[in-house]
Amino acid sequence: MQEILLSFENYLLNNLPKSKSFHPYFEDALGDMLKAGGKRFRPMLLLSVIKSNKSLLISNSYPVALGLEMLHTYSLIHDDLPAMDNADLRRGFQTLHKKYDEVTAMLVGDALNTEAFNQIVSAPLHNDIKVELVKCLSINGGIEGMIIGQAIDCYFENKKLELNQLEFLHIHKTAKLIAASLKMGAIISEYDLETQEKLYNFGIDIGLLFQIQDDIIDETQSDEEAGKTTHNDESKNSFVNLLGLEGSINSANELAKKCENILNEFEEDLKDSLTELLSKYLYRHKN
């Protein structure tokens, strides 16, 4: 997977979005958060699934993987805005509204959101496949997924949610885009519908696990260690705020074990490909 990650990273850096205008810094701002790095977790989920079944389509799928990374990056840029989390740091760098200005950050987020779909429709894949990919990403990254999750997160600041409501929030805000990444890989790979659905549901579990882990990291790590603004969840509905640190760690352990068990149920090539990627993430809350 390391070779695929490096190849995708090279593709990303050579295909950064550009504006063709006389704006003094908008073009630089467009690429800043993409060049800043990150785990590239969602693109790598997609590519891991493709590797397991249709490895010859990996390079054809880089535009789709880049589209996923663009949409995720737009969500981070907007999440960091003063109207939301008002964060100073993302991926180890200044957030865009701090480095440039709030308007630039909003517009870069908007640009990456729309460019994500342009990347997908421009990929050298069959049109029927691309229609399904656009549908999957727009559902899970839009009003039925990430957006309603973000809306609930912001509206219910300083208002305590029940556990089932908290899970609903983070399934939509975080987990659905992770689940979509796996399903989109399965669509490209032409896995059967049952496998697509199983991968999607697995992604929901992985996404919830990631959110619990992020809440633990926010509580236990410094800005420098995490590469983003931490100790910023006091007014948020986080798992640590609801369950406590120990309860959150226990929940993460249980969910990580569940994900391990599901991994072992996949057919061999798919299991091996996903395990290669996920093994370093399942228990990252213990690091």
Going by pLDDT thresholds of 50, 70 and 90, the confidence category of residue 41 is: very high
Going by pLDDT thresholds of 50, 70 and 90, the confidence category of residue 19 is: confident
**Predicted pLDDT of residue 221:** 82
Give the whole-number percent of the chain exceeding pLDDT 70. 95
Judged against a pLDDT cut of 70, whether residue 104 lies above it is answered with: yes
Interatomic CA distance for residues 113 and 141, integer angstroms: 9
Q: What is the pLDDT of residues 43-93, one digit of tens each?
A: 999 999 999 999 999 999 999 999 999 999 999 999 999 999 899 999 999
Task: Count the domains in the chain.
Answer: 1
Q: Mean pLDDT for the chain?
A: 94
Interatomic CA distance for residues 167 and 42, integer angstroms: 20
pTM of the model: 0.94
Q: What is the pLDDT of residues 242-270, one digit of tens each?
A: 999 999 999 999 999 999 999 999 999 99
Interatomic CA distance for residues 208 and 6, integer angstroms: 27
Question: Coil, strand, or helix at residue 94?
Answer: strand
Q: What is the pLDDT of residues 203-228, one digit of tens each?
A: 999 999 999 999 999 898 877 666 66
Interatomic CA distance for residues 196 and 202, integer angstroms: 10
Range of the domain at 250: 2-286
Q: What is the mean pLDDT of residues 29-50?
A: 96
**Predicted pLDDT of residue 9:** 97
**Predicted pLDDT of residue 133:** 98
Which class for 134: exposed (0-12), middle (13-18), buried (19 or more C-beta within 10 A)?
middle
**Predicted pLDDT of residue 20:** 85
Going by pLDDT thresholds of 50, 70 and 90, the confidence category of residue 232 is: low
Judged against a pLDDT cut of 70, whether residue 35 lies above it is answered with: yes
Interatomic CA distance for residues 83 and 106, integer angstroms: 11
**Predicted pLDDT of residue 273:** 98
CATH number of the domain encompassing residue 28? 1.10.600.10
Q: What is the mean pLDDT of residues 107-131?
A: 98
Judged against a pLDDT cut of 80, whether residue 194 lies above it is answered with: yes
Q: What is the largest CA-CA distance in the chain?
A: 55
